[in-house]
Structure 1
Amino acid sequence: MEKKIRPDGREKVTGRLKYLTDLTFPEMLWAKVLRSAYPHARILSLSTEKARKLPGVRAIITHEDVPALNGFGIVTPDQPVLCKDVVRYVGDALAAVAADSIEIAARALELIEVHYEPLPVLDSPEKALAKSAPFLHPGGNVLHRAGFQKGDIQAAFSQCAKIVEETYEVPRQLHAYMETEGGVIVPEKDGSLTVYVGTQHGFKDRFQLSRILGMPEEKIRIISSPMGGSFGGKDELNIQPYGALLALATGRPVKIHQTRQESMRSSIKRHPMKITMKTGVDQTGRLRAHQTTITADTGAYATLGPAILDFAVEHACGPYIIDAVDTKGLSVFTNNGVSGEFRGFGGNQITFALEGQMDRLAAAIGMDALELRRLNIRRKEDPGPLGQRIAPTNGALEVLESAARVYHAKKQHMPKRSTWKRTGTGLAVTMHGGGLGFGRMDPAGGRLSLTENGKVEIAFGFEEAGQGILAVIEAVTTEALGCKKEDLSIVIGDTAFVPSSGSTTASRGTSMVWHSLQRLKGPFIKQLLQGAAQRTGIEEEELSIGPGGIWKEGRCMLSFESLAAGKEPIVVSTQFDFPVSPDPIDSAHFLYTYSGVVAQVEVDLLTGKIKVTELHQSTAAGPVVNELGYRGQIEGGGVMALGYTLMEDVVMKEGQYATENLDSYLIPGIGDVPFQLELEAIETLPLEDHYGPRGVGEIGTVAVAPAVANAIYDAIGFRVSCLPVKPEAVLQSMERGILHENRF
């Protein structure tokens, strides 16, 4: 693996890079959004009269000022831009203000008078599903149902030697990106609009804003790179509609940048889920029956809640072959904060439960947990978890064996016991589908061109969100063409200059770049060589692309700049669908990545605090394109997952956020990072696999929680079924006397 410096690395570490929230424009106004005081209430009246009289206020908008569709949502536009009759959660917007300063805008919000009639608060799926519960939406309180069945589940359970049933609960998690939602929206002289706001889906934002503003898409330009992190949280619209409406109302640039408290209140979060699994094995350790019930709290609005539930249902069996399966999922509307896209997309929740089951089953039949997994792990030609055909792969077995070697090595060199400290080691494995899945529009593509100034321009319609996609584009393009990085001009994140090629989501960026270049390089190289042959009189077959231009026998015969001079730009485009299973099974994936995680923990018996001291991740995702980027994604994902496992929980009480800022919502700091972060990249693919490298943006987060949970059991005999694992839960387990006797 060759180490390559990120193209944007120097600007980022020196602080010279301008993010979209750093931008300023002449005569720019500042905006604030008024959010609901109640999680569920009827709006009796709303008056902006006093606020409008405040000096420095330039515009105030309410639902009456939305010219077209008063709603947004990537798939289902059920969230009002500005509420008219009712509010369904505390992040609902009622009005927005543009003023000469941020202080004036904040004061104006205080002067807006709203009278509410509080309504019953449905702050849990159980309350929302009760027969007496009011409907939060016309269709009721169930957003989506999903399921998968295979075999005769009851007959299979009747043949099992041991059955384990457990309910797992996982929390609401904050994306905690460094740059909160924000940017500047600029009205142009020709009546168009330029939106400088971070997003993972520029063309989808353009489409949604077009519906809201009643404006042709072509008159809306989205500039969406760079941004300070997303992890799925900026895939949906957030502040864009308010800035756009205010910019059009005032004819001036409008800046909105949410505070952390405002972001906490209005941003989407990871879905809290309650997952009940009942799993049975025969005497030999074969998995015979697996029944799963998933209840997801999707909050007040849909966003991508249905797709996330579908993903969790698909991955309920993970990388294992099971005779009979019965999976049922329910996504429920509540008056809690909106749950939506988050790194792992439902895989983290379901994997925590599944890998917990595997260790419990092994203990129930007196079998080594590694052997149980090895016996049931999928092999190269096995179908996917929904019975669909997938790219042949031994990735699951490869990561298991890699993790097994690490696990045994760590068990042989366990730290010495101390009076008040216990150490344990745990393992978990997982598989994770890339792309959006069968039946969902998943466009991909790109464009190669030789520009007038002699640059090889490579353009994609997605965004740089801190994930290192620029380094991937640079590495894949230079390898495909044979040129050097100085020859390249990379264009992304601007709808005015890039093709529509889908979003920066679903671990698809690396794959999409690689697949695009496989299609683009042949026609592009041919046109370059044809042009060079005409210019030089040398036969086309004798020429090749090299650093800086066109080469023959180790000598540069014509620079790219000379080749481009006086000619129309050479442009080659491609458009295709991201690879999906040939089997028409809704949401089924085709390309998967695999991970085996080994965690070592230290448990303090006095305080109950858990410290992850070592974390090893074996990842099978095809060839590594950029080592630094690959390692950064896996290690960063692992640390994010430690937060999910041990400390993060966006607690809501009666529909209100109990935690409103990062002073009380804890995320991992440098002191929480394990002493040893290790990574093994398994790069081999079967000979018949022509699908190239897979993305690793999500896989590093998925199996960490169960590995840590299994390590906690190894240390003190406490079976974790609820995240995050709090110190008080550890202390309570000791009070119940469940510590391993041999640990004392």
Structure 2
Amino acid sequence: MALNKTTSGGRWRIRPDGPEKVTGKLAYLTDMSRDGMLVGRVLRSPHPHAGIVSIHTEKAKRIPGVHAVITHADIPGMNRFGIVNPDQPVLCEDRVRYIGDAVAAVAAETPEIAAQALESIEVEYVVLPVVDDPVKAQTKQAPKLHPGGNVLHRNQYGYGEVTSGFAGCTHIVEETYLTPRQMHTYMETEGGLFIPEEGGRLTVYSPTQHGYKDRMQLARILGLPEFNIRVVSSPIGGSFGGKDELNVQPYGALLALVTGRPVKIHNSRWESVRAGLKRHPMRIAMKTGVDDSGRILAHQVSIVADTGAYATLGAEVLNFAIEHVTGPYRYDSVEVEGVSVYTNNGVSGEFRGFGGNQAIFALEGQMDRLAEKLGQDPWEFRLMNMRKPEDPGPLGQTIVRTDGAMQVWKSLAGSSMWLDRQDRITDNPWLRKGTGAAFVMHGSGLGFGIPDPAGGMLALAEDGKIEAIFGYEEFGQGLIATLELMLIEQFGFGTEDIRIVIGDTDLVPHSGSSTASRATSMMWKSLQKLRGPFLDRMLDEASKLLSLPTESLRVGTGGIWNRSGEHLLLTYGQLAQGVQEEIRFQTHFPFPASPTKRIGAHYLYTYSAVAVEVEVNVLTGRVKVLKQYHAVAAGPVMNPQGFLGQIEGGSGMAVGFALSEDSVMDSGVYLTRNLDTYMIPTYTDLNGEIEVHAIEDLPEDDEHGPRGVGEIGSVGVAPAIAAAVYHATGKRISKLPIDPESLQEVPDFLVKAVSRP
């Protein structure tokens, strides 16, 4: 279906959290405060690379109103963090590796006193050579940033004989693609409130996409049992992967425990820029060859990713990119290698698309260039080389079979945008129009061999509310609305019957991370497992209370009804008060993984085809996106409004990735400090027409339900824009964001005007 309010009918609902968000009444975690609260601040390195000779905090401690000044010597547990590879110091001991590295932290009564305390801390540095190029970082001459060297991770994959494959090619395309250091630019910067509780417990109110992982890491740092820490992780004012890793949590937690007072930390935008995660800049070199019919014989790829000073999930992002640089296509031979490299640049990490955006930009660029060499229509060329439903996945792994690739290809091929694409000349000689397309195959979940738990709980609370309890977080993606709609449609409950409980480690089970386009899929699967036992128990207890057979009863809005739905016989509140034992069921299971034992290989894929129409002003070189068409094969749509919001939101981030966003660095120093120089798309850039075609069909034997769409809307737009720019101007794009100067030219009418005597 084409998603809009009209076609979605009664399923288009006001989000439960919508009114409070749009009126400003919702209290985000960084809005919170407590009586007696102190202000926390972090002292960060002014150098991208330096040795620490000494740290003197005496002056800062003597300032009235300063309650704590801490350094690495004050950390009771492990002075490192990182979800998978804990290599980043909480507070640096002997060396700083980027300008966001933390050296000390203070807690004071006011922001002004905290700032004064930071200025009073004396740190003696010895400036060291800066490693700011991931290619040069691999040379023998480069300073070693970590004990194991400057290579975080290498991976490779291949099959067939690439050398002989290229020897048999009629046409070969070689190109190197460069992608930028994109910033998440969430409206709510990193922060939180940290409260010491009775009995030595600590409550953490701080935005994150995985409260249980935060709790695990904080326990290691603080030297506390995990059950002594409560993490409340929702609601969040945007994340997109940027708050998946710890940020301010260690400092707020340490200061709260040292002072015995609540401590609040909230990063300024500059603090967020210098210390926050970014999308991995990548250099992707590709060589791809075809025979005279257009069949791809050989595909060779080399990826260099700049992970910055510390690992975060750099290895996993590289693995994902390696998996996705072959995409939804068939090849006779493939050779892919990649390396993720430490530098003194800002830390790169998890970001919506997780390496797929960079990979698909390069891959789709190759497809367009090959089609041109052959003189073929670029979309027909993709059809000729499209993988079949029964084919293995990109890494040779077993995957769940769907017809998604062909479905989205046909959808775009039949769309009015593609059928009606016109010549690039417009009525204005300095404006050119063009249309381009891209094809995406994107994996969901964390991949084989990576712990990926899922599950949830349903309970009838004492007050009669049906509680849906999940360990996920709401950060704008519409999770609460989606869960509510599933409970209404699949169980028969009413809106007023439901209470959603999420994002609190004291209350929720371990449902896994709210990442990797997995949450909706796993909520759906959990409810499928819970529905039968939960409803059967409710009807069985109601049968006892009413002295009626269970087959004469059904659940519905407000409570238990007779089978025909004519009479409400028992409210949920009455049922809750009447049962002898609590009605509560829990399920726990892993995200489905491929039986092929290759680390990171995915099992479930979402497919998408994207067409974009652009207008290029050749006087200024500026590109404006006029229209977008997204065909998305992701199974049943659980929440039409949320589905559309994810595709539109992801595409907006992709427009910035393609046209304007780059956290520019020079010698390890950010030249971009705020949103006045970091250009994210505004309403005027994103007010073009967007049509989304949701393809809901799945094979009859499919048991996995809806696939995730949280990322796929962001993946195909940049290569489609690049193709559209080529259609408009005849100029190929291999580097993002697109440089306007590269598109500037003098139109013929101006040449004639200037040359006229």
Asked if 1:528 is matched to 2:538, the reply is yes
Quote how far apart the aligned CAs of 1:365 are.
1.2
Distance across 2 between alignment mates of 1:725 and 1:236: 30
SS of corresponding position for 2:135: helix
Quote how far apart the aligned CAs of 1:410 are.
3.2
The 5 Å alignment of 1:709-720 reads: 709-720=722-733
Quote how far apart the aligned CAs of 1:415 are.
7.5
Asked if 1:435 is matched to 2:448, the reply is no
SS of corresponding position for 1:538: coil
Asked if 1:578 is matched to 2:587, the reply is no
2:393 to 384, 407, 413: 384
Give the corresponding residue for 1:638: 651
Give the corresponding residue for 1:587: 600
Q: Does the 8 Å contact 1:435/1:442 carry over to 2?
A: yes
2:711 to 698, 713, 719: 698
Quote how far apart the aligned CAs of 1:623 are.
1.0
Q: Does the 8 Å contact 1:281/1:287 carry over to 2?
A: yes
Give the corresponding residue for 1:405: 414
Asked if 1:653 is matched to 2:666, the reply is yes
Give the corresponding residue for 1:564: 576
SS of corresponding position for 1:364: helix
SS of corresponding position for 2:53: strand
Quote how far apart the aligned CAs of 1:133 are.
1.2
1:142 to 151, 158, 163: 151
SS of corresponding position for 2:200: coil
Distance across 2 between alignment mates of 1:674 and 1:614: 9
What amino acid is the match of 1:286?
R
SS of corresponding position for 2:691: strand
Asked if 1:257 is matched to 2:257, the reply is no
Quote how far apart the aligned CAs of 1:705 are.
0.3
Farther off after superposition, 264-273 or 371-380: 371-380
The 5 Å alignment of 1:322-337 reads: 322-337=331-346
Asked if 1:671 is matched to 2:671, the reply is no
Q: Does the 8 Å contact 2:418/2:611 carry over to 1?
A: no
Asked if 1:463 is matched to 2:476, the reply is no
Quote how far apart the aligned CAs of 1:732 are.
7.3
1:261/1:381 CA distance change after superposition, 3 Å: same
Quote how far apart the aligned CAs of 1:260 are.
0.2
Give the corresponding residue for 2:3: none
Distance across 2 between alignment mates of 1:61 and 1:141: 30
Asked if 1:519 is matched to 2:529, the reply is yes
Distance across 1 between alignment mates of 2:69 and 2:216: 24
Asked if 1:604 is matched to 2:613, the reply is no
1:342/1:521 CA distance change after superposition, 3 Å: same
Once the two structures are superposed, residues 391-449 of structure 1 have per-residue CA deviations (whole angstroms, 9 ceiling, x without a partner) of 11111111112112224333159773421111111010101100000000000000001
Give the corresponding residue for 1:548: 558
Distance across 2 between alignment mates of 1:344 and 1:403: 22
SS of corresponding position for 1:33: strand
Name the TM-score, length of structure 2 as normaliser.
0.96
What amino acid is the match of 2:577?
A
What amino acid is the match of 2:356?
G
Give the corresponding residue for 1:183: 192
SS of corresponding position for 2:174: strand
What amino acid is the match of 1:643?
G
Give the corresponding residue for 1:99: 108
Give the corresponding residue for 2:4: none
1:412/1:38 CA distance change after superposition, 3 Å: closer
Quote how far apart the aligned CAs of 1:638 are.
0.5
Distance across 2 between alignment mates of 1:415 and 1:409: 17
Distance across 2 between alignment mates of 1:286 and 1:484: 55
SS of corresponding position for 1:330: strand
Asked if 1:85 is matched to 2:94, the reply is yes
Once the two structures are superposed, residues 636-672 of structure 1 have per-residue CA deviations (whole angstroms, 9 ceiling, x without a partner) of 1101100000000011110010111111111000010
Give the corresponding residue for 2:693: 680
Distance across 1 between alignment mates of 2:592 and 2:187: 33
Give the corresponding residue for 2:743: 730
1:733/1:128 CA distance change after superposition, 3 Å: farther
Once the two structures are superposed, residues 469-491 of structure 1 have per-residue CA deviations (whole angstroms, 9 ceiling, x without a partner) of 00111111222211112111100
Quote how far apart the aligned CAs of 1:187 are.
0.2
Quote how far apart the aligned CAs of 1:542 are.
2.1
Distance across 2 between alignment mates of 1:331 and 1:415: 43
Quote how far apart the aligned CAs of 1:731 are.
2.2
Distance across 1 between alignment mates of 2:476 and 2:408: 27
Q: Does the 8 Å contact 1:417/1:423 carry over to 2?
A: no
What amino acid is the match of 2:18?
G
Asked if 1:160 is matched to 2:172, the reply is no
Q: Does the 8 Å contact 1:410/1:425 carry over to 2?
A: no
Structure 2, gaps ≥5 residues long: 1-7, 749-757
Farther off after superposition, 475-484 or 291-300: 475-484
Asked if 1:290 is matched to 2:303, the reply is no
What amino acid is the match of 1:564?
A
Quote how far apart the aligned CAs of 1:566 are.
4.6
What amino acid is the match of 1:120?
P
Asked if 1:198 is matched to 2:207, the reply is yes
Report runs of 4+ in structure 1 exceeding 4 Å deviation. 412-415, 732-735
Structure 1, gaps ≥5 residues long: 736-744
Identity of aligned residues (%): 58
What amino acid is the match of 2:608?
S
Distance across 1 between alignment mates of 2:746 and 2:41: 47
Number of aligned residue pairs: 735
Name the TM-score, length of structure 1 as normaliser.
0.97
Once the two structures are superposed, residues 691-742 of structure 1 have per-residue CA deviations (whole angstroms, 9 ceiling, x without a partner) of 111121100000100000000000011000000002112127999xxxxxxx
Quote how far apart the aligned CAs of 1:52 are.
1.1
Asked if 1:126 is matched to 2:135, the reply is yes
